[in-house]
Structures are given as C-alpha cells and as structure tokens.
Amino acid sequence: MAKQIFLYDTTLRDGTQGEQVNLSAEDKLRIAKKLDGFGIHYVEGGWPGSNPKDARFFEMARKVRFHKARLTAFGSTRRSRTHPEDDENIKALLSTEVETLTIFGKSWDLHATDILGVTLEENLAMIEETLSYLGQQGREVIYDAEHFFDGYKRNPAYALETVNAAARGGAGIIVLCDTNGGSLPHEIQATVEEVAAQIKVPLGIHAHNDCGLALANSLVAVQAGATMVQGTINGYGERCGNADLVAVLGNLQLKMGHSCLPSEDLEKLTELSRYVSEVANVPPLNQRPFVGKSAFAHKGGVHVSAILKNPTAYEHLEPEQVGNRRRVLVSDLSGKSNIEYKTREMDITLGGNGYDSQRIVEEIKRLEDQGYEFDAAEGSLELLIKKVTGQFEEPFQLESFRVTIEKNRTGASTSQATIKISVGDDHEITAAEGEGPVNALDNALRKALNKFFPQIEEMGLVDFKVRVIEGTDGTAAKVRVQIESRDSREIWSTIGVSQNVIEASWQALVDSVQYKLSKGLIGQETMEKEETQDREKPAADTQPHGNLRGVLRG
C-alpha cells in the first residue's frame, strides 16, 4: 500500500565521514539550502558537540529561513552517571535552537558493556532520560538505534528493551540502524516487521552500504513498515557509504508508488546530485542510477535502433522524470542507427540512402581499433562526421612544429614550442613558452592562429587527461589524450592517440580548435547564403563577397 515516506538527509554529517569528502561550514550551509529548496523533509546539519565547524554551521544557520526542511542537530545520549541538563553534549544540542534533535544510543549489548563500559540497565536509563529531557525542552526527538540489527541478532530481547526505552522517553520516530552494513535484505525485512508489531512509535531505517545492500535494505524496510529513510546524497559516507537518497527516492516514488516529494521536485533530482558533487569536489559517478551521465546512455546499435522506435524498449523510465536526458554514444559497437541519431542531435544532414552512415561507422570502427574512444570525445566525433561527409574543410594546416625541454642543475625546467602553419596562401611561424611541453605547444598554436581566427580567444582548457592504452610496451606504449575545452556557450571533448604523448596531445588540441572554428564557420556560411540572396534581388547594391580566407578571418 502506498504511503507517505519521510526523507532524512545526513550528507552534512554522516556523508562527510567518507574519504575525500570534506565540507567547510559554508559548504554545508549551501548544501543545506539546496536540500531545503529540493524538498527533503529533514536535513541533519551535524554534531555541534563534537567539533567547532559544526557549531559554527548552526550559528550561521540561525540566520537562514528554511521553507521545506526541518534542520536537525545530531548528538548522543547523556554520559554515564551524568544528568542530561549537566551534559555538555546536550547543552550544545539545545544551543543550536533547532526544533528537531536526533539522538543515537546503543542497542547492541556488546557496545553497552564492552565499548561504553556501562551496565545494561544504565544504558537503558541513558536513552530514556535523554529523550525525556529534550522533549521537556519542546524539541521533536528522533532516536537512532545504533547497531540495532547486529544487537537484535545477538540479544533480541535487550535490543527491543532499548527501543522501548526510547519510546517511553518520547521519541517521535525510532530509526533502526544497520551501522556495520552487514545485514541482508531478508534479515532487515523480518526484523522490522517484528519490531513494528511490538513498538507503536513510527519506525525509520538507516542503512550502510558495506555489502552493497544499503538501497535494497532501505526499500525492504519500507515494505516492512518503516516510514522514514535516512541516507546521503550520492551515497557519501564512512567506509562504503550510506544509502544513496537519490536512488532511494527514485525507487520509492517512481517504482513503488510511495509519496515522497511532488513530481515537479523530482525533476530536479539530477541537478541536486551534481550540485552536491560539485560542492563536495567529488567527481560525479557516470554510472549512478537515475542521475548519472550514463544512466540513459545507449551504445549498442541494436539498442539504438530500438529506442528510435520506442524508448521504452531499453529504458525503465523517461529520463526527464528525474531531470536527466537520453544520450546515444558512438563507438566500434555502433550501427547506422547510432550515427543517424547523433547527426540529428548535432544538426548534421546526411544523404538519404544510408551511404554516409555506413562510411562513418566504418571509419569510427577503424579508429577505435587504433585506440580512439569517441563516446568520451563528442567534439572529435562531430568533426569526424563532418569531414567524412565533406561538410568541413580544415581551415589551417600544420607545416611543422618543434618542442624543446630544458632542465638545469637547480631543478628548474622550461619548455618552448615553435610552430609553422598555413592558412590558405599565408604562412605563420610562431614560438611560445609554457609550463610544460603541451602547454607550450598550445600557447604557440593559439598565438599563430589568433591573427586569422580571433574567436579562439574565447576558448579555455577545462581538463587534460592522459591514459596508457596498453601498458605492456612500457614507455613506448600508445597513449590516449583527452582534452575538455569550453567557451561561453558549451563544453566539448576532443581526443588524440599516438605512441608519442606530444603527438597525441597535438591531435586533441587541433580537434579542439577546429571544433570551435566549425561552429563559427557554420555561422559564416549562413551569412554568405543570405548575402548571396540579397545580391540576387534587383534592388540590391552590395559589394562582391570576399574569398574563403576573408570569411575565415571574420
């Protein structure tokens, strides 16, 4: 039966415990506001009693109005033999002035006796007294039953006593935690059902991904009666991470029919995932379900042929439902359907008899056999298609280049590049220095071309990657260079392959510049046609149009 499921985000606390995830207080506030705008019900800001950064976050958050989310502070039960009102951790929680507090306590008898060093009775008192005190202060209290499933396996009676203590203390919701991430879905489902039959307080689930089952465990917990799911955006978290709220939300609402958020908010899911990735400075995972760049990417020719007729044949939902988009890749696995789809996407016209498509497929397969990879370099792919079909003529030719590297005894090194190019009947020889040989070559090429094509000044390098294709040849191995460039309108990737890294870099650099110029040339060709039409009008009084080189200079 469909029901309302509440989403509890702990990216700002549990998520930051993951390797390579480090957020400043300012970063956390930016993400918190984004989660609020998206519609997440609870946003856990951190543990103010554990570190100054989280305390500062809550100080800044006091000045922010949250419209949809309840900002939540996290902390532990009182210390042993301490009254809640005297506990510094409890004081720090109350000082945040947030309406909702999340308290974790021990559900596993092993943790109470061997880790905390308290009696089982004292552990129960710590839970009940802490929650009762916070409730008396007018706070909504969520109780996280830490290590609940491990505790339930070892001593089910005591594990139930701990959540009963939380219920007596006034917990608004009790969250059962698979803290070690070692439980299997059938164990989660059976345990949640058993607890739900004995505890009248609403239940939640907090799953870790150590067995790759955090998503599955979260979903079966909902089936068993849980009405809250805790997790993090993109699954960030300690060890193997937490349940990914992105996939949790997609499955709960779009697959299982539960109500989490309005559908118009769900359409921002891809944007949210990428925003958090950007702020956390963690590269987005292309294969991330629902929102990854590859989530709706199609490469096999048979698949593409089918989605051209009906996308449902190879897609489990419409990508727009989660703010993503369909992509068709071109590689040695491609057929003519891939080419026809991509050319329509690129606004390139092919011959109607399929001959162009076949020629392009054959050329791509030949080049990919040499190490090229066009599904990751669509700028080079577009140029290749235009060149094969005669729709692009290279605006400049390389006559020669030379790159030198000098290193002295102080350890300093310098790189210089000299390049000679031709543009029509003109020749240009230019030299430039750079931080390295590729940078020097890039600077020399730009310097030489700027006289003819000033629009390349708009270009900027975003990323530069080198990969060894086959390492058995050692330093003589063939390498693949991928360059990502951008201007004010778009980002594009180009590629080069050679046993010489400088040569591979040159290929990628040239493709990058030519891609930029191809966009300008299309605009110039349109202008030429319009001017030709104007000259053919009887009243026109125009000068003869300049030669191609003159057009390129513009």
Could you tell me where the DSSP H helices lie in 281-422?
301-309, 336-345, 355-369, 378-388
What span, in angstroms and rounded, lies between the C-alpha atoms of 408 and 387? 44
Instruction: Give me Rg for the CA atoms of the chain.
Output: 30
Q: Supply φ then ψ for residue 350, to 5 degrees.
A: -110, 165
* CA within 13 Å, CB half, 15: 31
What span, in angstroms and rounded, lies between the C-alpha atoms of 227 and 203? 6
Q: Strand 413-423 to strand 397-407: parallel, antiparallel, or no bridges (unpaired)?
A: antiparallel
Pick from 396, 400, 437: nearest CA to 416: 437
What span, in angstroms and rounded, lies between the C-alpha atoms of 338 and 306? 11
> What integer pLDDT is reported at residue 458 of this predicted model?
84
What span, in angstroms and rounded, lies between the C-alpha atoms of 545 and 159? 86
Side by side, which strands form the sheet with 426-434?
Answer: 397-407, 413-423, 426-434
In residues, how long is the chain? 554
* Residue type present at position 547: N
> What integer pLDDT is reported at residue 433 of this predicted model?
92
Q: Are 364 and 482 in contact (CB under 8 A)?
A: no
Per the listing, tokens 């996308």 go with 311
CA 369 to chain centre: 30
* Residue type present at position 297: A
> What integer pLDDT is reported at residue 95 of this predicted model?
95
CA 526 to chain centre: 38
Per the listing, tokens 């856990």 go with 44
Helix (H) or strand (E) holding 128: helix 120-136
pTM of the complete model beyond 0.85: no
Q: Are 432 and 443 in contact (CB under 8 A)?
A: yes
What span, in angstroms and rounded, lies between the C-alpha atoms of 463 and 482? 8
Residue 502 Cα distances to 466, 484, 496, angstroms: 11, 16, 10
> What integer pLDDT is reported at residue 436 of this predicted model?
87
Q: Are 30 and 285 in contact (CB under 8 A)?
A: no
Arithmetic mean of pLDDT over the chain? 86
Q: Is CATH 3.50.50.60 the classification given to domain 397-521?
A: no
Q: Strand 203-207 to strand 173-178: parallel, antiparallel, or no bridges (unpaired)?
A: parallel
Q: Are 210 and 182 in contact (CB under 8 A)?
A: yes
Q: Which two tokens stand for residue 1?
A: 């039966």
Taking only the tens place, the pLDDT of each residue in 57-87 is 999 999 999 999 999 999 999 999 999 999 9
* CA within 13 Å, CB half, 233: 31
DSSP string, 489-538: S-EEEEEEEESSHHHHHHHHHHHHHHHHHHHHHHHHHHHHHHHHHHHHST
> What integer pLDDT is reported at residue 175 of this predicted model?
98
List, for the chain, all residue ranges whose pLDDT scores fall below the cut of 70.
Answer: 300-301, 304, 308, 329-337, 339-340, 342, 345, 351-355, 375-376, 470-476, 520-554
Q: Supply φ then ψ for residue 474, to 5 degrees.
A: 65, -135
Annotated domain spans of the chain: 397-521
Q: Supply φ then ψ for residue 33, to 5 degrees.
A: -65, -35
> What integer pLDDT is reported at residue 133 of this predicted model?
97
What span, in angstroms and rounded, lies between the C-alpha atoms of 251 and 245? 10
Residue 163's contacts (CB-CB under 8 Å, 6 or more residues apart) are 107, 143, 145, 148, 174, 176, 195, 199, 201
